[in-house]
Structure 1
Amino acid sequence: MTLGERDPATQLDRRAFLRSASAAVGAAALATAGAASADAATSGGSGPQASSVFRHSVASGDPLPDRVILWTRVTPDDAAVPGSGTGRPTAVHWEVSTSPQFAAIVSSGDYVTSPDRDHTVKVDATGLRPASRYFYRFTIADGPHKGVTSVTGRTKTAPPADTDNDLLKFAVCSCSNYETGFFNAYRAMADRDDIDFVLHLGDYTYEYASGEYLGKYLEIVRRVQPLKNTVTLKDYRIRQGKHHEDPDLARCHALHPWVCMWDDHETADNSYDGGAEDHFPEFQGSWADRKRAADEAYFEWMPVRPNSIDGGEHLYRRFTFGKLVDLVVPDLRSYRSKQTYIGTDTPEQTITGNAQLDWLRTSLTTSKTRWQVVGNEVMIVPLVVPWVINPDLVDFLHSKFDYIPRDGLLVDNDQWDGYADERHELLSAIDAAGKKSVVFVTGDIHSSWVSEIPLNTVHYGKNAKGRVVACEFTPPSITAPSGYDEIALNEAAASVCADAVSVAQSAIKAADPWIKDVELTSHGFGILGVTPERATMEWYFVEDIQDPQSRVSLAKRWYTEHGKPKVIKSL
């Protein structure tokens, strides 16, 4: 076994182990304007060649009031598969229309792709009307496949910033490990006609070799490609291509615009600005080369507006949806310090980097919208072993020795807990600005959480120092192993594991009372609906991710009221 490999029978990635152990520590459709539109958006393109030439379907993303990113990939010949570096340059014509029949074209253009960008196509379609639904498609403009047309995609632009809109609704998801389950959650999102976009908060792909990161009962339901750990540009392109071929994911991309942010597994586990826990330079090469390869494949394959992080570009960005919502999406991977358990409350330990922290703080505190929503890759709520001494004594000790954690002993240093000083700085800025309608929606932890975020945990529920300044809604993973999956090594142990998880859930809430609800077993996604008065999160759980036809149903609902960052259960 080479360094960095894991025995599939005993594998547990360190952070997943901490997730499953945290409680013990702490206790210590779809239609567009009708059915015809939905049929058009999922129907094949022109001719039998469409499914082979446009085998990775289409996608859209980063909606603004007057434009949206459009994406596809062409396969000019059977050998020109993702990562092959082969195939002729191909001209593609793209079109946007208000109708699925493309009776009137409102925006169009041409694009030439080649092996240099893995035959992907990404354009910024401009000249669109705000808050409008559009249809788009791509057509091969030269070569032997000239005239072959892709499936029809469907997208939607954002409302203008001066609009008095009364509803924004979007899906929230993360963590789709290909081998541990089917993408039922993407299918359920695709089937909806009531969402404006999909917010994906990272771990869209995983870097592990086949069989290295197993799910419930240590089962592999299907094989990812490449079979090896992804390290090179070719590897990352192949992995992206395999995901995009999944029919449920492809359909979800085709029917909704997406807003995407990476986390660590698009490159390597527990990454930071200068490396990753699971990167080994002695046989995987330099971290800079690996990160550049992963980033290049991501920008090629994902419908995000930046095309690189070279030359001052960055992936963190902000979207305004009328007067109702500012959606702020930080990048909590590219600029963070290396994770540590010592000195997490010191200013030197940063999760954002100085420039991005200024941008994030300013974006939230100067926002003119009624709500501010943060698309947050890792949990910001403190998940800690709390102090049991006098809160004022904790404050005194922390003021004298800033390496003594203010909120308690952390469980997972990869979350905001590992960067507690910066978290406190951000929460204090939100509080000082009088922003009382900040909602964090979060991925990464492969489980479901509902939390109030206090300014100071040791004073929570005791006095004004512990006042709640924001709240956090965390839906579960699409398929990546949950806490239950991590300990359920075989079916015979299922009931014992279920009992252990139940105890863990209760222990977490008892230890950290600002965490109001936690569920460590299920997979699925969330739907956040924002009105002027409420922000409501609904959790949708998949009955069995190992069954490709499994049912998806509403499991719970919590909300927060405008100006009152507490959380309330309604289902």
Structure 2
Amino acid sequence: MTSGSLDRRTVLRSTGLAAAASVAASSGFLAPHAGAVPGSAPAFVRGGRPRLTHGVQSGDVRPGGAVVWGRADRPSRLVVEVSRDPRFRRRVRTVRGPVVRPGTDLTGHVALTDLPTGAELHYRVRAVDLDDARRASEPVVGRLRTAPGRGDDVRFLWSGDIAGQGWGVNPEYGGFRIADAMTRRDPDFFLCSGDYVYADGPVQEQVELPDGSIWRNEVTEAKSKVAETLAEFRGQYAYNLLADNWREFLARTPQVVQWDDHEVTNNWYPGEILDDERYRVKDVDTLARRGHRAFHEWTPLSDLSPDPDGRVYRKIAYGPLLDVFVLDMRTFKNPNTANLEPAERQGVLGARQTRWLLRELERSTATWKVIAADLPIGLLVPDGEAWEGIANGDDGAPLGREQGIATVLSGLKRLGIRNHVWLTADVHYTAAHHYSPDRAAFTDFDPFWEFVSGPLNAGAFGPSELDGTFGPRAAFVAAPPAPNTSPAEGSQFFGEVEIDAGTKALTVHLRDVEGASLFSRTLRPKRR
């Protein structure tokens, strides 16, 4: 069969084809997130046909499988049709998904199984009335590429930090200025390295820029204050989807999502009690439970994580060339201190996640192992008089959280695991760091690269200083001219990874707001 690409009109509008008169039996679907607890839900529309409210998304594509996400305006059943044909005229497969209800904010996840290898697939989602299957929403269309085979190249993007520091959805840019450049790159998938929303970052309607011009934000009730209630956390995700070009990008690009701090509140850690007058709810654990639930409801997250408590670390096997190891460096995190403790068992990964990471890395047969970290390794990230990140500024032997990273790095060397690359965001500028034991206080590891990119649509900052414990050297840095530089002024960045199926070489590009490559580095695989 032939396949084709989707243009803006196809993605953002329904196809106009008739609603399904019947629904085939499901080949499997995800139930609402198991960790969800009952709670109040916003009012929903009654009467007429159901409607999909916030576009469609897909995520966690791996051999044979993927997840499709949608949200309806009332209790209804999600139904997904999948075909190689963008017009859905031939060989259309129908997957009957879950009933969406107020308990999950009317969001739902549909698991696609038995997908072909290395194929471009088109999908369309409908919300079907629970009382009359002949009444269904207009379909909303998306596209995904399945996990590649041995002869297929791989290209994906990564970035983070979306709608932060008061820079929200700006209609003058179609939503998020950088989204158009990301769409033009036509990647196989997008890795969000955290700060998917800014639950602690209200926006106002207008912000004056240094040149006297005005930045104009879309404003919603939920985005007008810090998120505390479950409804307000949900509203953060709904807000970002007001950006037309961001919905377009997500409809045609599968995601791999992870979270960091701003999905809850700045620099948070378990057990923290806030000293912030903006919050009536001071207990961070309460805020984190609500933020965690909204994150699971509003993103195309699969149930791949082995964690019994619903944390988001997981392995995305993406064909013979690539495995992505998605870390959760937030919900295991110890308190922010001077980070100089001589014995630290928790750190940012925790013992369970560390064992899982080394075990899965050892089992991996993919050529390249990408470790998706929501915090950089060697950059100094302050939190008042304490440290928010891994590094502590002493340049000596590992102390505090550095000890957990030392365990991972020495484990990689001991197990003979080669060709691992670390990708991250968090610091709101872009950089390429090479780590080597030849320059380090701690030497029991093999040299490796860490690439940093972001923000996607937030205030730009930096650069940060490097801690010498693991011997980092900045091969490239691009940072803004002043703190909190707006997206209108540039200094917004995303990264791109390309893996050549023939040579198996991995090339990283660090790209600017228009998509231009500022820096590139090609890495050749080493034998294990």
Please report the TM-score for the alignment, with normalisation by the length of structure 2. 0.78
* Residue in structure 2 matched with residue 427 of structure 1 by the alignment: 409
State the alpha-carbon separation in 2 of the partners of residues 383 and 156 from structure 1: 37
1:154 counterpart = 2:124: no
CA 1:92/1:422 → structure 2, altered by over 3 Å: closer, same or farther?
A: closer
1:337 counterpart = 2:334: yes
1:379-426 deviations in whole A, cap 9, x for unaligned? 0135599xxxxxxxxxxxxxxxxxxxx987259xxxx99611111111
Greater displacement, 150-159 / 196-205: 150-159
CA 1:483/1:294 → structure 2, altered by over 3 Å: closer, same or farther?
A: same
Partner of residue 187 from structure 1, selected from 172, 180, 189: 180
State the alpha-carbon separation in 1 of the partners of residues 13 and 48 from structure 2: 11
The SS at the match of 2:179 is helix
Is the 2:453–2:494 Cα contact (8 Å) retained in structure 1? yes
* Residue in structure 1 matched with residue 191 of structure 2 by the alignment: 199
Larger relative contact order (Cα-Cα within 8 Å, sequence gap ≥ 6)? 1
Q: Which runs of 5+ in 2 are unaligned?
A: 19-46, 171-175, 383-389, 481-490
1:116-144 deviations in whole A, cap 9, x for unaligned? 11111211122321222211112232279
1:471 counterpart = 2:449: yes
Q: Which runs of 5+ in 1 are unaligned?
A: 1-31, 77-88, 386-405, 485-503, 543-550, 566-571
Partner of residue 499 from structure 2, selected from 526, 530, 551: 530
* Residue in structure 1 matched with residue 161 of structure 2 by the alignment: 175
Partner of residue 510 from structure 2, selected from 528, 536, 539: 539
Partner of residue 562 from structure 1, selected from 516, 521, 525: 525
* Residue in structure 1 matched with residue 116 of structure 2 by the alignment: 129
Partner of residue 259 from structure 1, selected from 249, 256, 259: 256
1:463-511 deviations in whole A, cap 9, x for unaligned? xx48752111111211222226xxxxxxxxxxxxxxxxxxx68x86999
Number of residue-to-residue matches in the alignment = 462
The SS at the match of 1:439 is strand
Runs (4+) of structure 1 moved beyond 4 Å?
35-39, 47-52, 211-220, 276-282, 307-311, 382-385, 507-513
State the alpha-carbon separation in 1 of the partners of residues 521 and 59 from structure 2: 27
1:222 counterpart = 2:217: yes
Partner of residue 274 from structure 1, selected from 271, 276, 281: 271
* Residue in structure 2 matched with residue 57 of structure 1 by the alignment: 55
Shift of 1:534: 2.2
Greater displacement, 223-232 / 56-65: 223-232
State the alpha-carbon separation in 2 of the partners of residues 373 and 319 from structure 1: 10
Is the 2:49–2:137 Cα contact (8 Å) retained in structure 1? no
Identity across aligned pairs (percent)? 24
Please report the TM-score for the alignment, with normalisation by the length of structure 1. 0.72
Shift of 1:74: 1.4
CA 1:276/1:483 → structure 2, altered by over 3 Å: closer, same or farther?
A: farther
Is the 1:382–1:417 Cα contact (8 Å) retained in structure 2? no
* Residue in structure 2 matched with residue 13 of structure 1 by the alignment: none
Is the 2:410–2:445 Cα contact (8 Å) retained in structure 1? no
The SS at the match of 2:287 is helix
CA 1:205/1:130 → structure 2, altered by over 3 Å: closer, same or farther?
A: same
Name the structure with the higher helix share: 1
Amino acid at match of 1:556: F
The SS at the match of 1:483 is coil
* Residue in structure 1 matched with residue 313 of structure 2 by the alignment: 316
Is the 2:195–2:261 Cα contact (8 Å) retained in structure 1? yes
CA 1:54/1:441 → structure 2, altered by over 3 Å: closer, same or farther?
A: same
State the alpha-carbon separation in 1 of the partners of residues 445 and 201 from structure 2: 45
* Residue in structure 1 matched with residue 79 of structure 2 by the alignment: 93
State the alpha-carbon separation in 2 of the partners of residues 215 and 436 from structure 1: 49
1:129-183 deviations in whole A, cap 9, x for unaligned? 1222211112232279923223211012213xxx534522101010012541551
CA 1:561/1:310 → structure 2, altered by over 3 Å: closer, same or farther?
A: closer
State the alpha-carbon separation in 2 of the partners of residues 325 and 50 from structure 1: 46
CA 1:367/1:380 → structure 2, altered by over 3 Å: closer, same or farther?
A: same
* Residue in structure 1 matched with residue 285 of structure 2 by the alignment: 288
CA 1:483/1:527 → structure 2, altered by over 3 Å: closer, same or farther?
A: same
Shift of 1:275: 2.8
Greater displacement, 512-521 / 261-270: 512-521
Amino acid at match of 1:453: Y
1:483 counterpart = 2:461: yes
State the alpha-carbon separation in 1 of the partners of residues 49 and 517 from structure 2: 34
State the alpha-carbon separation in 1 of the partners of residues 273 and 179 from structure 2: 29
- Within a 5 Å distance, the mapping from 1:393-432 to structure 2 comes to 409=393, 419-432=401-414
* Residue in structure 2 matched with residue 373 of structure 1 by the alignment: 370
State the alpha-carbon separation in 1 of the partners of residues 196 and 279 from structure 2: 27
Is the 1:281–1:287 Cα contact (8 Å) retained in structure 2? no
* Residue in structure 1 matched with residue 37 of structure 2 by the alignment: none
